Structure 1
Amino acid sequence: MHTPVSPRYLALDVFRGLTLALMIIVNTPGGEASYGPLEHAAWHGFTLTDLVFPSFLFVVGAAMSLSMKKFSGLGEAAFLKSVARRGALIFLCGYLLYWFPFFTPERTLAPIASTRIMGVLQRIGLCYFFAALIVRYGGLRGAAVFSLLALPGYWWLLHQFGDYTMGGNAALAVDLAVLGAPHMYHGEGIAFDPEGILSTLPAIVNVLAGYAAAVWLQHKGRTRHTVATLLVAGAACLLLAYGWHALLPVNKKIWTSSFVVCTVGWDLVILAVLVAAIDIGGLRFGTYFFEVFGKNTLFIYLLADVAVIILARLQVDGVMLYRWLYQTLFLSWASPLNASLLFAVAYMLACWLVAYVMDRRKIYIKL
């Protein structure tokens, strides 16, 4: 049975919303304790949490399959202006998020000299921009060629100019030379940026993979054969990734090429399952919950992060409001692991309520 192709796939919208929901949960635990799947791998290795960000890039690429159709009628100058503007705005939102609330407790302007430059939104903006250029001027063939050059090329750079340790990898060397330690992430105990400059190169492939999967779906339609092909492609990527792991460890923090292939594999499998259940099987129970998140993805992501910063700044009886809410509402009756998870889920649901109100009022914020 062949289902007629529509401009949008509900499965992709649900995938985007599911990714955002999980991203908020893993980013906002109540306390230090978290279940293993909700923490990043310490270094080499892979957890559910490590899949969230690359999945976000994957769905950015899938969404790009629709926007590129709109751009097809634009001249070169208008196209370049549009994608550069969007990429720059996403990058700027990420940068301002790290600078927020812009002022110190002493009401002086927060120093830009120590503001982190790269980050999650910054990587999304850069990957979107370069992926759009590759697709515009090279099409699917250009995307394939870039991927086949970028992944082995990045492997070669890591092997040739460093090792696979946190303090000795080539990606760190580039970031230190270009960004400088004060502008990098320090949560690992040293100046090290998991969303740095060089490691953005292989991350572009995650976006291109999402674009290719969406274009292929639109071309072939929603059939059982389509689902089977996605599953086979995903399984092949996973086999390649875990075989490659022996030579180049799967590592999210330096975004190794094997990590890219691994995450693309899982995303293809997840997409196949969602297409089978939703677009072919007609499943609708619970899908609206994730659709709501998927309609204002960037705004809700920013809201979730800004609200955390505000909750950390406000205090109740000398304790930051974020921690006070966790301790009073959850830790007072649940174990640390469960309390931390319940707080994160409750926080995600609070963000969802905002997204729901926006959807009911037809408010959609796009860049």
Structure 2
Amino acid sequence: MTQTNRFISLDVFRGLIICLMIIVNTPGSHDTIFAPLEHAAWNGFTLADLVFPSFLFAVGNALFFTMQKSKTLSLGQVLAKIGKRTGLLFLLGFLLYWFPFFKTNEAGHVVFKTFAETRVMGVLQRIALCYGIASLLLYYCKPKGAFLVAVGLLIAYQGILFWFGEPGHELSMVGNAVTKLDLWLLGPAHMNHGEEVPFEPEGILSTLPAIANVVAGYLVGWYIQSAGKTKKMLAWLTGSGAALTLLGLCWGIVFPINKNLWTSSFVLYTVGLDCLLLAAIIYIVDFLNITRWTRFFEVFGRNALFIYLLSEVVAILLRASHLYKWIFNHFFSFPGLYTGSLVFAIWFMLMCWLTGLILDKRKIYIRV
């Protein structure tokens, strides 16, 4: 497998995930979403639930190539690079939830949104922490050590939830150990309020098993690099994906697949699906040499972080100005609320893609 094609496959995988992420995050109406594009309410799994763990898997894939370039750097330079990227990602995520920094109070006046009511954890924050911890594990413990630590985290996480959760309610939204820790460390004002009670789907404790998604992505990237473009590599990737998916389903019998708690069964199940998806992309791109379709997703993949941030900022501004609902009602609701909601999401995704295309044509790639 040539290096160019390998990067194409990774860009396509990452771009496909970003494309789906934008569609999932920006429906015309959150009240009318087709079931596969809506997250499972609690236990269970939908297509939307695959997006976030797949992005972490892609971070691990990219991390392999990044760490190869770091072999010529000193320990201080490596740690500074990891620390800088972790800090910037976390800060961007935090500022994203604080944005637009102002709100309208009960009297109708525009006031500054204080830190006291700002969500601390979130998507980019989890990506930052998983990237930073996985990078340190892989640097100090090497791939084998990082793999063992990741397995240990998955096993220990189940024990922690059942040991520290409320008896009989260990895996409920209120009684789980993840929420208890977040309430103690962050406080309800700094948590997500999208549910009936304060609950942080990107909680501090549930970030631990998510590290395994990044480590898995790294190990897969490492194997693909070392094995090369062979049928054996493709068979191994496909077989591993099928085995992990089945293992995740089996583990889910006693430790249910749950994105909100990021259960260990959820990790294995999503890593397995990611291996199968990546294997399919590599087969089509590198073995069948069918690449005409890849350009669309490469645009997303080459500026994944920027396009994700752009989609979130634009959506926030449109909602704050009430244009979001107005555009949906006046231009997209005519096919029906559910179909119109999906068409709106696809339109929004395509607008983001056009921005990415302009950047790609100008060879502008924004990295953190």
Same fold per superposition (TM over 0.5): yes
Letter matched to residue 225 of structure 1: K
Q: Deviations over 1:181-219 (max 9, x none)?
A: 100001011110000100000000000000000010000
Equivalent residue, structure 2, for 1:59: 58
Q: For the residues of structure 2 that align with 1:295 and 1:146, how far apart are their CA atoms?
A: 30
Contact preservation (8 Å) 1:13, 1:291: yes
The equivalent residue for 1:292 is 299
1:224–1:276 Cα contact (<8 Å) kept: no
1:5 deviation in Å?
A: 5.1
The equivalent residue for 1:104 is 103
Counterpart of 2:362 in structure 1 is: 361
Asked whether the equivalents of residues 293 and 300 of structure 1 are also in contact (C-alpha less than 8 Å), the reply is yes
The one-letter amino acid paired with 2:34 is Y
> Does the C-alpha gap of structure 1 residues 63 and 192 become closer, same or farther in structure 2, counting only changes over 3 Å?
same
Deviations 1:213-233 (A, max 9, x none): 001000000222111111110
Normalized against structure 2, the TM-score is what?
A: 0.96
What does residue 189 of structure 2 align with? 182
Mapped contact 1:5–1:222 kept (Cα < 8 A): no
1:169 and 2:176 correspond:
yes
Q: Is the 8 A contact 1:185 1:191 kept in 2?
A: yes
| Structure 2 counterpart of 1:192, one-letter code | F
Q: CA deviation at 1:8?
A: 4.0
Asked if the contact 1:311/1:322 (under 8 Å) is kept, the reply is: yes
SS at match of 2:259: coil
Stretches of structure 1 that go unaligned for 5 or more consecutive residues are 315-319
Contact 1:185 1:192 in 2 (8 A): yes
- Structure 2 counterpart SS, 1:243: helix
**TM-score, normalized by length of structure 1?**
0.96
| CA–CA separation in structure 2 for the residues paired with 1:78 and 1:179 | 32
CA contact (8 A) 2:151 2:212 kept: no
Q: Which residue of 1 aligns with 2:332?
A: 330
Identity percentage of aligned residues: 48
- Kindly state the Cα deviation for residue 26 of structure 1 after the two structures are TM-superposed: 0.2
Counterpart mapping for 1:1-367 below 5 A? 3-4=1-2, 8-31=6-29, 32-105=31-104, 106-162=109-165, 163-314=170-321, 320-331=322-333, 333-367=334-368
Deviation at 1:4, TM superposition (A): 4.5
Answer yes or no: is the 8 Å Cα contact 1:10–1:279 preserved in 2: no
Per-residue deviation, 1:7: 8.4
Other structure's SS at 1:364 match: coil
Q: Which amino acid aligns with 1:118?
A: M
Q: Kindly tell me: are residues 7 and 34 of structure 1, through their superposed partners in 2, closer, same or farther at Cα, counting changes over 3 Å?
A: closer
Q: Which runs of 5 or more structure 2 residues have no equivalent in the other structure?
A: none
Per-residue Cα deviation, 1:232-263 (whole angstroms, up to 9, x for no partner): 10111111111111100000000000000000
**Residues 22-78 of structure 1: CA deviation (Å, up to 9, x unaligned):** 000000010111111000011000010000000000000000011101111111111
Moved more, 250-259 or 133-142: 133-142
Equivalent residues of 2:93, 2:122 under 8 A apart: yes
Assess if the C-alpha contact under 8 Å between 1:127 and 1:204 holds in 2.
yes
**Counterpart amino acid of residue 272 in structure 2:** G
The 8 Å contact of residues 94 and 120 in structure 2, kept in 1 or not, is answered as: yes
CA deviations on 1:102-137 (whole Å, 9 max, x unpaired) are 122434321110100000000000000000001101
Report Cα offsets for 1:251-280 as digits up to 9, x if no partner.
000000000000000000001111111122
Give the SS at the match of 1:187: coil
